[in-house]
Amino acid sequence: MRPRVAVAAGGAIALVVALGACSKNTGEGTTVDTERQQTGVIATDPKDSQGPAAEVSGAQKGGTFTIIRESPISHLDPQRTYSFAGLMTNPLFARYLTTWKDDGKGGLVLVGDLAETPGKNVNNDCKVWEFTIKDGVKFEDGRPITSKEIAYGIARSFDPDLSGGPTYLQEWLADTPQFDTKWDFKKNKTSLPPGLSAPDAKTLRFEFAKPRCDLPFAVSLPTTAPLPADKDTGVDLDKQPFSSGPYKVAKNQVGVQITLDRNPNWDANTDPVRHQYPDQFVWSFGPTADAANNRVIADNGADQSALAFNFVPASLVAKVAGDAALKSRTILSPTPSANQLVINNQRVTDLKVRQALNYAIDREGFIKAMGGQTVAAPLTTLMPPATIGYKAYEAYPAGPNGNVDKAKELLGGKTPELVLGVADNSTEQQQGAQLKANLERAGFKITLRNISDDAKLDEIKKKDNPWDLYIGNWAADWPSGASILPVLYDGRSIKAEGNSNQSYFNDPTINAEMDRIQAMSAAEQGPEWAKLDERIMKEYAPVVPLFVDVAYNVHGSKAGGVFISSVFGYASFVNAYVKP
């Protein structure tokens, strides 16, 4: 790995220059591109935030672009959106204060979306920020979008009945993880949370008790999507969100199909990233990953302009990778999505046991069982390689296949009995069986307990959950340790339910170090997060890093313009079009 450095780069503040490594041949007839040059910058020239977005070579208007997925999207309401599918579809009908220009090759520029720029740090202390709203931005009914509607969207995210989305802004404004106890949205619908104001129609202002240098990144999430108060239908907004983007929800057959039509009141001249090429986007739910991918491979009828949102499953990897005719219809890309064996530190309190868990894992065998290098790449750090300031290290050197002897040495003849909770879907069942075999050969006794797939995330987020171990996944909300380490390991955020800190790790010295780093400018934070990453693993071992996801998608012969998001690691549709 080359070190990532902060340098100036014309018209933008360069935050990271990332991994350079040789490409890896998977042995399955295809190559994973690890040469991707990941870079992240904040635009300083207002011209970067202007529209229209650069035209996509070969793109044409017209047609219906279909996205096939096994499970429905959990939330369409922007303030409740946090799933990958939701984060990829929201930009089609919702705009935010800022957004990312993404070249699909790892190059990222943070620009103003509804705002004219990525924000003004008023006093250069990261405590007061102002955003000026663009002229000409409109809702689907033609009324103008002002700071008032953006502020209202943020305010409604304080409502505990509208949970599910990111909580950065709420916690920062309230200066507490228990933000809903600081300000009650239901009682104050005509006012705004503390620290948030709209002095006039063009200005949105944030005032924080502590420095929040990552604010321009945080407001690129759907929390800042605007909504007029008279269009707020509460929990029912999930069924029919109100559009500020190039498309609007024309029909929603809940759990079956969502149809998005063009929004005639969207103005391309105000939008630096989105296009309006297809007449329609259709999300179609139900087919398994195997069935969806087989449909797209067959390339018949409407499936010619379709993409299977679920990655190519292990059962089809050899078929897809070995078919030369499919090469032009596949996308293979590393992602920033990190997976861990999460240890419940409230229940597994012995550091030596947690360290032994880290030595026990056969990552190479685990990845082979999942389908190989087109599915995953091994990970030994808390932050994935696509993170600002990333530093490779291995706190518990176990080689590719684990170090059983070292694990047994740490256990000292004991046989810890641990319960591993796994979702009742085929993927986690397979992963659970593999982990059980790994851990039991190293001296553990593992009991697998099934958790309903659709309830698993909510259940492991409960502080008093009954499992010692569970499989966790985290994709940073922007490419910085600030959206990884504090979210997952700051013990002050732990509450009864809804925890992102699912290891329930809490150490005052680590919490204080997070505060110190977050007070730095975004350009300075990278190396400090990397140091803290290594310190947490070496001193506490709160989880076992397992792998990063590799995106492997197949699409129809008439589907164009799709790339893997450099931020979230799933298919992005802002450039999508239908070929004639």
Of 237, 258, 277, the residue at which a domain comes to its end is 277
**pLDDT tens digits along 82-100:** 999 999 999 999 999 999 9
At residue 32, the pLDDT reads: 46
What span, in angstroms and rounded, lies between the C-alpha atoms of 512 and 514? 5
Residue 307: inside a domain: no
Backbone angles phi, psi at 178, to 5 degrees: -90, 60
pLDDT at residue number 169: 97
Strands 280-285 and 257-262: antiparallel
Domain boundary among 277, 297, 313: 277
Q: Is 445 exposed, middle or buried (0-12, 13-18, 19+ CB in 10 A)?
A: exposed
DSSP states of 525-545 = HHHHHHHHHHHHHHHH--EEE
Pairing of strands 98-102, 559-560: unpaired
| pLDDT given at position 11 | 37
Burial 462-492 (b: 16+ CB within 10 A, else e): eeebebbbbbbebbbbbbbbbbbbbbbbbeb
**What is the mean pLDDT of the segment spanning 283-293?**
96
Give Cβ neighbours of residue 204 (< 8 Å, ≥ 6 apart).
97, 115, 130, 131, 133, 147, 150, 151, 196, 197, 198
Domain that holds residue 375: 335-551
User: Does the residue 174 lie in any domain?
Assistant: yes
In a domain, 354, yes or no: yes
Q: Is 331 exposed, middle or buried (0-12, 13-18, 19+ CB in 10 A)?
A: middle
Asked if residue 285 is part of any domain, the answer here is no
Of 16-20, 191-195, 232-236, 328-332, the range with the lowest mean pLDDT is 16-20
Pair 350, 426 in one domain: yes
Per-residue confidence (pLDDT) for residue 475, from 0 to 100: 85
Residues 6+ apart with CB under 8 A from 382: 338, 340, 484, 485, 488, 489, 533, 536, 537, 543, 545
397 and 533 housed in the same domain: yes
Alpha carbon distance 31, 24 (integer Å): 6
Peptide bond into 336 cis (omega under 30): no
Question: Do 373 and 251 fall into the same domain?
Answer: no
Summarize the chain as % helix, strand, coil (round to 5).
30, 25, 45
The model's pTM is: 0.81
Q: List the CATH number of the domain containing 140.
A: 3.40.190.10
C-alpha distances in Å from residue 576, one per residue of 112, 273, 275, 545: 21, 12, 8, 34
67 lies in some domain: no
Q: Is residue 171 included in any domain, yes or no? A: yes
Are residues 133 and 262 both part of a single domain?
yes
pLDDT value at 14 more than 50:
no
Residue 289 lies in a domain: no
pLDDT tens profile 46-64: 999 999 999 999 999 999 9
- Name the more confident of 476 and 19: 476
What CATH number does the domain containing 543 carry? 3.10.105.10
Comparing CA positions, the residue from 67, 77, 97, 51 lying closest to residue 249 is 77
Domain count, the chain: 2
Cα angle 130, 135, 139 (rounded to 5 degrees) comes to 100
> Tens digits of per-residue pLDDT, 459-503?
999 999 999 999 999 988 888 899 899 999 999 999 999 899 999
